[in-house]
Amino acid sequence: MRVIEGRSSWRSRALSALLRLTSREPLLQDTDISALRRRYEDFEARHFPAEKWVAREWTNCNGVIAEWISVPESRPGRVVLYLHGGSFAFRFPNTYAMFAARLCRRFAARALIPDYRLAPEHPFPAAPDDCHAVYRWLLATGHDSRDLILVGDSAGGNLALVTLGRARQAGEPLPACAVLLSPAVDCTLTSPSMVDNEERDPVLHLRSLLVLRHHYVPSPHLHMHPEVSPIFADFTGYPPLFLQAGSSEMMRDEAIRTAQRANAAGVHVELELWPETPHVFQVASFLPESVQALDHIERFVLAHTGWKTTSSAQ
């Protein structure tokens, strides 16, 4: 575990202040999630369009729609399977396309983003079923697992670990490595940082997480199921894992506990804690912390894939 020293940048502090003003209103049990999702997507489409240098193409993967992301530097054989976050209920297509494109430039790879089914219309196990189906499709269409990496943020980090567990159980070849950004891995919501950091976290709110948990997993009996809460899974045989989280966010201890579980199972794992950064700060390309974090992700991925690249993309 590495704790990144120093204070966060003024840009990160300003973003946290803005998010605190705009994102901290808790969800209610009767909130219309599907309507809220449409409002989020309409807002993103108007104000955060994807850049023209990013090529986007929809494809059908074993019945699951997914989007290929490529950039001029992309090499067809290299694939980043990107599992997006959004509390299993929301999607931000342009935001995640642009973040995946930044990864593609650094790795000279393509990215595939599954449009997995969302709660509450499609509760567990719809999302992990879809993500595993896309992973199997990649293998079936000739992609070498050694040139495949998994990246997931927040709920996507959960789905990345579940996909690894399902693939291992099925005897399928595993990807070269996986990157987990502030993974949400414990549906019991019992990590100490859920309480300790609730007032400091500019994005998440415990009341909202309880509402979203109910939509994804209506039955409390499933909260400790390893495909709902992969912190309780057996990590034996997993590929190398790289985790990043903010030291003041509510998901901090879920990243720490995941790293501890992986290490105890003999998995090569690295964890970084960043000071005073908001949840999944890596997607905000204007933050200096985001650029530095991607530098560290690039170092890890290239070391475990053997990929060579001369890209200096931010």
Q: State the pLDDT at residue 310.
A: 62
249 is catalytic: yes
Q: pTM for the full model?
A: 0.96
Per-residue pLDDT of the chain (314 residues; tens, 9 = 90+): 999 988 899 999 999 999 988 876 789 999 999 999 999 999 999 988 888 899 999 999 999 999 999 999 999 899 999 999 999 999 999 999 999 999 999 999 999 999 999 999 999 999 999 999 999 999 999 999 999 999 999 999 999 999 999 999 999 999 999 999 999 999 999 999 999 999 999 999 999 999 999 999 999 999 999 999 999 999 999 999 999 999 999 999 999 999 999 999 999 999 999 999 999 999 999 999 999 999 999 999 999 999 988 655 55
Q: Is 275 exposed, middle or buried (0-12, 13-18, 19+ CB in 10 A)?
A: middle
Q: State the pLDDT at residue 24.
A: 65
Q: State the pLDDT at residue 79.
A: 98
CATH number belonging to domain 2-304 = 3.40.50.1820
Q: Which of 12, 227, 248, 249 is catalytic?
A: 249
Give dist(CA 16, CA 29) in Å, integer.
26
Q: State the pLDDT at residue 314.
A: 58
Boundaries of every domain in the chain: 2-304
Phi and psi (nearest 5°) for 183?
Answer: -65, 140
311 is catalytic: no
214 is catalytic: no
Q: Which of 70, 154, 193, 208 is catalytic?
A: 154
Q: Is 188 exposed, middle or buried (0-12, 13-18, 19+ CB in 10 A)?
A: middle
Structure tokens at 31: 């909130």
Q: Is 151 exposed, middle or buried (0-12, 13-18, 19+ CB in 10 A)?
A: buried
Give dist(CA 220, CA 225) in Å, integer.
10
Structure tokens at 98: 């642009």
Q: Side by side, which strands form the sheet with 79-83?
A: 2-3, 269-274, 241-246, 177-181, 148-153, 79-83, 110-114, 64-70, 55-61
Q: State the pLDDT at residue 313.
A: 55
Give dist(CA 68, CA 195) in Å, integer.
38
Give dist(CA 85, CA 254) in Å, integer.
15
Q: Which of 132, 279, 289, 304 is catalytic?
A: 279
Give helix 155-169 / helix 126-140 axis angle, nearest 10°.
60
